[in-house]
Chain A
């Protein structure tokens, strides 16, 4: 580990410690915003770990998230709560591996459509099961508070950053950058491209499922329409792209402003949210194709060129 890396690690630890104090401030409004930001940070950062280097746009976040929510909703009757997020993580990773093996050999377009369909598929299976068994939604009644949820999500975020950092430094991370640049070269250099992609896709799968498991007590009542909402998948993509996927901290820079923007939109135009989400997506893709990270890198480059000429 180099000096800069040690310094960054220490800074990150301090930042996390400060963030973890938020519930102590005593404001229910800010804590609710904090939970939303922590949730999307975890989802968007883990999404970008896979989609950043490979350029495969995954719309499966809702599928994994819903599987996690249902893990808690079903499991809470039989198992202690603390076992449920890890179980959800394993289920999410297995589901991601299956999806990956089935689709990642195909080109990007098929992958996008398949992942979008996956959430719908899982949702329909659960609705069918509910119709057969005659049940409706499930209640998750626990003594878990908003502050507990926030701390769990903050801890999960720290874990995601550590995993992302470890992957970036590993052979797998190097392989993924090569795959992202030119898959043909990657194969001919001796990289098992399908294997690397499946392995990496399991990370956002597991993380989104854990997030769903952690958040289930917040929703109290779990039903397919809320647990598998496609809006979640799209929001994660938009936030990650707004921030930029070429750096580990990129998605965070997108999550924070977008959460406030979305808060304002849902309060002022509750009936037009889908339309406005679409417009946000178009604006980001056209105006900020590389996100805030790209903007920052371009600015830095301009300064460097100016210095070089001075």
Chain B
């Protein structure tokens, strides 16, 4: 399945670690304003795929294009500058900086670059968006778990990226926090942002994703609308094993 005028495309993206093929010959497209779920069992290569897109890893072969221009092989900072921002599976904040300065990191060095008062105002707007404006001057060490995730999300948004990569952003939240988290991402979706969501939380996938790509053992096994994909026999087998399919 191809998308007309995709923002991001992978063509034959492959990553080997020695003899292990973590991602094999992977193709998919993400359209403008689309929220794409990248799902699959543990160890299926989802995080490696995000690392290939964000430039943390270079593909062994194949190519990745942002609006038709090849970005695979570029260093991570160049990819970030061109408009791909990410969160990390384990939240990564800057401990010596306060909440506002953490978010300013994205505003100052991201896709759309600002400096001084402009960067501060942009960071403040992002903190309002994620509901953390009142904690702007707190040290990050004092934050609750979901608030650290909010800071990281605000940091990625601050540079106005074209594509947002969320690596299990909802993982580890308690039920109340999960609801807040889902509505936050839904708000981003309603703003028309282009997002790739690596996620395990099925409720979140159902309510947020337009389309899903399913990976198993490093390869794509299904792609389509979320409902379609989640009822696919192959997908159920990959998640639950043969007996339940």
Contacts and interface: CB of A to CB of B under 8 A. Distances in A.
Most buried by A among B54, B93, B94, B159: B94
In this complex, the interface size class of chain A, counting residues with CB under 8 Å from chain B, is 10 to 19
B105 A187 contact: no
B110 A185 contact: no
Interface of B: 54-56, 75-77, 80-81, 85-86, 88, 92-97, 104-106, 108-111, 113, 115, 155, 159
A182 B55 CA distance: 16
Interface of A: 171, 174-175, 177-178, 180-182, 184-193
A181 B95 CA distance: 6
A190 B94 contact: no
Given A171-B115, A174-B108, A193-B77, A188 B94 contact: no
A188 B54 contact: yes
Contacts of B155: 189
Contact of B85 (A177, A182, A184, A188): A188
Contacts of B108: 171, 174-175
Contacts, number: 69
B58 to A, nearest CB: 13
Nearest to B152: A185
B96 A188 contact: no
Contacts of A180: 96
A171 B104 CA distance: 11
Nearest to A184: B92
A187 B92 contact: no
A189 B105 contact: yes
B80 A185 contact: no
A177 B96 contact: yes
Contact of B94 (A171, A185, A187, A192): A185
24 contacts: A171-B109, A177-B97, A181-B96, A182-B93, A184-B92, A185-B105, A186-B77, A186-B109, A187-B55, A187-B75, A187-B77, A188-B55, A188-B77, A188-B80, A188-B85, A188-B86, A189-B77, A189-B80, A189-B85, A189-B105, A189-B109, A189-B110, A190-B77, A190-B81
B180 to A, nearest CB: 24
A102 B97 CA distance: 30
B115 A187 contact: no
Contacts of B75: 187, 192
A189 B159 contact: yes
Nearest to A195: B77
Given A171-B108, A171-B115, A174-B108, A187 B96 contact: no
B77 A178 contact: no
Given A171-B108, A175-B109, A178-B105, A188 B76 contact: yes
Given A171-B108, A174-B108, A182-B92, A187 B80 contact: yes
Contact of A187 (B76, B93, B104, B159): B76
Nearest to A178: B105
Contact of A188 (B56, B93, B97, B115): B56
Nearest to B75: A187
Given A174-B105, A180-B96, 17 more contacts: A177-B97, A178-B97, A178-B109, A181-B94, A181-B97, A185-B94, A186-B77, A187-B55, A188-B56, A188-B86, A189-B105, A189-B106, A189-B110, A190-B159, A191-B109, A192-B75, A193-B77
B84 to A, nearest CB: 9
A207 B171 CA distance: 49
A185 B115 CA distance: 19
A230 B33 CA distance: 59
Contacts of A178: 94, 97, 105, 109
Contacts of A182: 92-94
A189 B77 CA distance: 7
A187 B75 CA distance: 8
B109 A190 contact: yes
Nearest to B81: A190
Nearest to A187: B76
